[in-house]
Amino acid sequence: MCPTDPTPLGSDGAPDVLQSPPPVVTGSPVEVSEGVFVIPDHRVELVPNVGIVLGERAALVIDTGLGPRNGAMVLEHARRLAGDRRLYLTLTHFHPEHGFGAQAFKGAATIVYNSGQRAELRRKGAGYLGMFRGLSPAVAAELEGVELVDPDLVYEGEAEIDLGGRTVLLREVGPAHTGSDQIVLVDGRVLFAGDLLETRIFPIAPYFPPHDTDVDGEGWIGVLDQLAALAPQTVVPGHGEVTGASLIHDVRDYLTYVRDEALRLRECGTTADDTAATIDENARTRWPSWERPEWIGLAARAFYDTSASV
């Protein structure tokens, strides 16, 4: 059945963070599994969950926070935990709140990206830096003096890092949330998923035509099937609380709903605007406890436009 008179949407842009707390990594690392620590995001906008994984000989940091001050704070926590162990840094994806603190690690850690991440950072980094600076004065302040940092090591497909008694798998899984998403799997039991997963937050679909249209909803659903097959014991999302594997199924259910509805409404002849409005209204009802509903419309438009090109 095709709908009529959908409720109109407001802004389809990035979230309004003018009233949000400063995007600063705070608090101490919390051990979520043996040798695996997370500095929680405390559900603050533009603050990621940051990982620190300790082995006998080395430690791996996962994501840096937004800008050099956050990167320096994360590095300080990592050094406190790691002592004289060798440090590695990797990023779940190139977006500013996850990786634009990497300059603090230059020379202090071996920085590892997949080849797609490096290419995407080089192609889009300056544009995202400008866009994020315009979000609020607090965000702009954290981005003051940012330098985009190339990796020391680059891999394709997947790579393993032996930290000593603890093995970390880096796997390139994009395009999905971005064109070059990476998961980090620790000893086959702890999954760092970046923004492929959020806890009680509508998945972030960075669909900003014509500047960035690399989000791939269908690919994202396929990646979630792969993650579910890994059956991790602990899941660290890009944002929101650390949880279990049920989160993978929750996010997949939402993305599948948006995909199916966008295709159905497009086949009914519904415009992109009205499709986004209808899905936005209904998704808020279906997932009433989830935050940041401003991302619903962008996901709907991404699926709508993809279905139009098939």
Residues 34 and 54: beta-carbon distance below 8 Å: no
Q: State how far the Cα of 120 lies from the Cα of 143, in Å rounded to an integer.
A: 19
Q: What is the pLDDT of residue 309?
A: 62
At 29-44, the pLDDT tens digits run 999 999 999 999 999 9
- Listing DSSP states for 209-245 in one string gives TTTB----HHHHHHHHHHHHHH--SEEEEEES--B-T
Whether 6 shows a pLDDT value over 70: the answer reads no
The pLDDT value recorded for residue 156 is 97
Q: Which residues pair with 111 in a beta bridge?
A: 89
Alpha-helix runs per DSSP H in 10-107: 67-82, 96-99
| DSSP E strand boundaries for the chain | 30-33, 36-39, 50-54, 58-62, 86-90, 110-114, 153-155, 158-162, 167-172, 182-186, 190-198, 234-239
Asked if residues 192 and 50 have their Cβ atoms less than 8 Å apart, the reply is no
Q: What is the largest CA-CA distance in the chain?
A: 64
Q: What would the pLDDT profile of 163-204 be if each residue is shown by its tens digit?
A: 999 999 999 998 999 999 999 999 999 999 999 999 999 999
- pLDDT of 19: 74
Beta bridge partners of 80: none
**What are 31's two structure tokens?**
């051990």
The answer on pLDDT for 5 being more than 50 is no
- What does each C-alpha distance from 127 to 105, 112, 131, 174 come to in angstroms? 22, 22, 6, 20
Q: Domains in the chain and their CATH numbers? A: 30-309 (3.60.15.10)
With H, G, I as helix, E, B as strand and everything else as coil, classify residue 21. Answer: coil
* CB 47, CB 97: distance < 8 Å: yes
- How far is Cα 264 from Cα 278, in angstroms, rounded to an integer? 12
3-state helix, strand, coil in the chain (%, to 5): 40, 20, 40
Q: How far apart are CA 71 and CA 89, in angstroms?
A: 11
First-residue to last-residue Cα distance in the chain: 22
pLDDT bracket for residue 211 (50, 70, 90): confident
The amino acid sitting at 112 is V
